[in-house]
Amino acid sequence: MNDKKQILAYENSMNDLYLQQVENKTWSHAAGVPERRKTDFSPLSGRISIGGDRPGEVVNYYIGPMHIDQDNLFVISWVAPAAAVFFKNMNTWQSKPVRVQRRFIQKARRLTNYADIWIGRPSGEPFPLLGDEVEQTPRPPKASPWLSKARARAGVHTTKPANDVIVEFSSLQGTEQEAPAATMEDLLRETLLRPRSLGLSSVLSTLQAEQYDLVTYSDDKSLVVQGHAGTGKTIVATHRAAWLVDENRAEALESVLLLGPTPAWEAHVSSAVSELSGGGKEIVVSSLHSLILKVLGFEPEIRPRPVDAARVPVGADALVREAALGARKSGKKGPTALGDFYHSFVTQLHLNGMSTELKDWAGDLPSTFNGARKDPLLWPLLAYMSTLIDPGEVFEHVIVDEAQDLTLFEWRVLEEMNAGSWTLVGDMQQRHSQQVKSWSDATSRITDTPWDERVMNDGYRTSQAIAEFAASLLSKSAGMRRASPLGRGISPRVINAAELRRTVEAIALEQCRRLASDHAEGTVAVITPHIEKVLREARISGWSAEDRWTWSDKELYRYSFLTPEEARGLEFDAVVVVEPSAFRANSGSDGKLYTSLTRANLELVVVHSGSMPAALERESARLARKNSS
């Protein structure tokens, strides 16, 4: 029986070989594209062992982001049909029995643990090492019909490495020697408990069957994914973008637009998209805020876009469209075209016969283009005008994360940029705007498009204690997500600053330091509508800013300081939420507060001096009684 050290050493040698082959393969077809480093690519995700064509014969192959087939390494891309065996835990594949699958945990492109999950009856070594393979499970001959078909369907060709790679696996320095994970849930729990980085990583090793089905959902239809906080919606969005354009897919798309709510989200997900992308096809990752500014030709800004924009009367978009398409016939383009059209639109006299509401709306618009461009609430309207007058880039598919908060004119801008189907992911319980209350309200804005709606109920990244605390803000009709593999975890801590005669800002920073020490390699964030007050306290305490969102203390621990709008779509090991009553005061609902509470994966602290929402007061009292008993 091979021990864990031998197995990990061998698997890491194969992973090194794989990463080298990926690097070579990418360079060979990415001429003119900035050179990518080996660290841009995800490592191997796992292995599958399937019964072969003859009695006693088995076929073993790896799963990874990219197809590789050379003498000692056969990797099937995660988008290939045969990869479904791995992600959906299938018992058979093309009438062949599945023996066992191995899933890896990785850190910094090294494999640090694994779980062997037997599908069939356990028999012998799950996967022999290279030296054992000839004796125990010989590599099937190249003429094997099953393997030939698998390769053909995968679209892979045998390649030789550009440079000789020597496979050595006699030792693995620095690998922890804990026992292999016993089950898939153990592996998932270990992965979720690992400290988060500031950027999202691909999760092919632990991508769940429910998530895989949504990622690989046919792009012939438009899809809406509703999911509670922590169910993996952003994972679905990012992996779906990579799947849609992957060159190994039979009907790969040429261009996909992946949109999220804020510039912080854009920075957060870009690393995962980079890890999964295999080369020449295009995924444009952007926040909706940045996209609107780009359309308008405005200078980039780090402020998040306003969510709850001014209400627009029915028919306003049609009015703008009719006028803009008329102006487009003139052929006038360039930087002055939008300003000229806006001026003519607000001064035109064709409003006779329109409703009073429409006339009032048009009459309330600034009389000059310069006045309109100074108001961020009007930028989506101006961007819609711009896309109609002077159409720009068009995509084959548009994916929107946190889509529940799209405003009418944002929908219209995206509609002009999308020549294909849609994928919308979000959570109506987290909506920051009150303009829509259901997905049917949102999708009805895109006419003549059939929508399939799917619901994600399985919780993953947020502990059950945090999820239940935040869910106290929701109505019972919202339902509850299923329990997380993280288990209950640490109960949320609620601190009343007024009782301690201290400021909420001072306590927030104190809790930051404690959390950073407890989660030394992880991520810690403070979220509050009054973030400037926390930043002022941080400056007084000698902390320094690294960028708009990231600060470090004197011990060089790093923290993210965010408003509720900036925190959307992000996740952290630990979060301090400051002054819950201020969230509702700014928005009129608990959507922003619910979102902020659920940004925490492992530990949550709430600091307040004023009253809290009644539901949180009750839940806090219940936790206090439980902890004191």
Tokens of 275: 């890890």
**DSSP 3-state of 105:** strand
Per the CB < 8 A criterion, the answer to whether 305 and 340 are in contact is: no
Tokens 């796992």 belong to 46
Q: Which helix (H) or strand (E) holds 341?
A: helix 337-347
Residue 387 CA to residue 379 CA, distance in Å, equals 12
User: Is 268 marked within a binding site?
Assistant: no
- 3-state SS of 115-157? EEEECCCCCCCCCCCHHHHHHHCCCCCCCCHHHHHHHHHHCCC
Tokens of 84: 């479904």
Beta strands 92-93 and 96-107: pairing type?
antiparallel
- 3-state SS of 227-282? ECCCCCHHHHHHHHHHHHHCCCCCCCCCEEEEEECCHHHHHHHHHHHHHHCCCCCE
Residue 214 CA to residue 187 CA, distance in Å, equals 22
Beta strands 110-118 and 46-51: pairing type?
unpaired
Per the CB < 8 A criterion, the answer to whether 430 and 587 are in contact is: no
Residue 118 CA to residue 44 CA, distance in Å, equals 19
- 3-state SS of 440-470? HHHHCCCCCCCEEEEEECECCCCCHHHHHHH
Residue 160 CA to residue 164 CA, distance in Å, equals 9
Tokens 């309109």 belong to 372
Tokens 């999202």 belong to 200
Q: Which amino acid is at 501?
A: R
User: Is 419 marked within a binding site?
Assistant: no
Residue from 596, 500, 586 nearest 307 by CA: 586
Per the CB < 8 A criterion, the answer to whether 103 and 78 are in contact is: no
Residue 445 CA to residue 188 CA, distance in Å, equals 38
Tokens 């006779």 belong to 352
With a CB cutoff of 8 Å and minimum separation 6, the contacts of 547 are none
Number of Cβ within 10 Å of residue 475's Cβ equals 9
Bridge partners of 400?
A: 259, 424
User: Is 234 marked within a binding site?
Assistant: yes
Handedness of CA 614, 618, 620, 624 (dihedral sign): positive
User: Is 227 marked within a binding site?
Assistant: yes
Size of the chain in residues: 629
Tokens 């001064």 belong to 347
Q: Which helix (H) or strand (E) holds 224?
A: strand 222-227
How does DSSP assign 528-576, residue by residue?
Answer: -TTHHHHHHHHHHTT-EESSSSEEE-TT--EEEEE-HHHHTT--EEEEE
Residue 564 CA to residue 152 CA, distance in Å, equals 49
User: Is 229 marked within a binding site?
Assistant: yes
Q: Which helix (H) or strand (E) holds 4?
A: helix 4-29
Binding annotation for ATP: 227-234
Binding annotation: 227-234
